Amino acid sequence: MNDRLLRAARRQPTDTTPVWLMRQAGRYLPEYRAIRGNIAFLDLCKHPDLAAEVTVQPVTRLGVDAAIIFSDILIPVEAMGIHLELGDKGPHFPNPVRTAADIDKLGVPDPVEGTGFVAEAIRRTRKALNDSVPVIGFAGAPFTLAAYMVEGGGSKSYILIKRLMFEQPELAHRLFGKLTDTLIPYLKMQVEAGASIVQIFDSWGGELSPWDYERFCLPYLKRMVSELKATGVPVIVFGVGMSTHLSLLKSTGADVVGLDWTLPMDEGRKVLGPDVAVQGNLDPLHLFLPCEELEGRVKDILLRAGPVGHIFNLGHGILPPTDPEAAKFAVEAVHRLGTALRQGTLKP
């Protein structure tokens, strides 16, 4: 296996910098669109053969160092007993969670019974790849999932989830606890199926102040990270707009902390210290730059991150209008320049 990503996550030497791209299996790839044109998104997530096929596509086309299983962070939420609609405009819950009774109705599903198709997709992905690169498993963090459930979908102000937290904190904690009880076995199932590393997406964690994040989110993330690390796999935590939360993310005990593009990598390193690996942090829209400028951005990030304990990635997901050739160029630049960095020949 090409184990660069696993070695980097454990802060071990690598021959070059490993790279994968969030949302690397998706609408920017014509081969994905060809499959997606014949099946609804949620059905695609639940079809192990097709989910494995689209998981493998970016590995084949781009040469990335890992495959992330094709799924959605809301898959385990649906298994808890809430109706989910997923379309091109994003997720929608027709019957959002707003009351104590709503929370009480939610179940803690058996992961195999409720979401076993994810495990099967991982197994089929490993077989299709012949274990040439690691498979990344993932889940959303309790706050991010709760935000979707309470708001009924995406939000600009997050007023409903925040009001629940501030006006009825005991209900919010009950919801976060039930989500955590669901997510831990869900991720363990992915590890048992063959995921070699897992990422927890707290996509909307940056909407909270550090004080609120520490109070409402940190206990649950710490528990998730602790139980997942006990399985022996590295754990990545990532959120958008969380440059002021890095010390909190470090305190979860995660092996890797992902950074978005709003903070230079070396400044993030100073906050996190030498005992945590980092992931990131190219602005997804930099993939629209001319190749020479894009290479310059890649080079700058590599120099700031250093040769040990860095997984190159975007600061958030790749965008649908992106040219796959630009993504491939970036991946190749990371590998080429990452080798030079280790040889001491990469200069500012």
Question: Residues forming the annotated binding site for substrate?
Answer: 23-27, 72, 148, 203, 316
Known binding-site positions = 23-27, 72, 148, 203, 316
User: CB–CB of 252/223 below 8 Å?
Assistant: no
Among 222, 219, 272, smallest CA distance to 242 is for 272
With CA atoms as reference, report the closest residue to 220 among 198, 197, 248.
248
**Residues with catalytic roles:** 23, 27, 36, 72, 148
**Burial class for 206, CB neighbours closer than 10 Å (0-12, 13-18, 19+):** middle
**Cα angle: 326, vertex 265, 234; to 5 degrees:** 85
State the Cα–Cα distance between residues 103 and 149, nearest whole angstrom.
10
The answer to whether 117 and 110 have CB atoms below 8 angstroms apart is no
Give the sheet arrangement for strand 310-314, strand by strand.
67-68, 135-140, 197-201, 235-238, 256-258, 277-282, 310-314
Helices 159-167 + 142-151 axis angle, to 10: 110
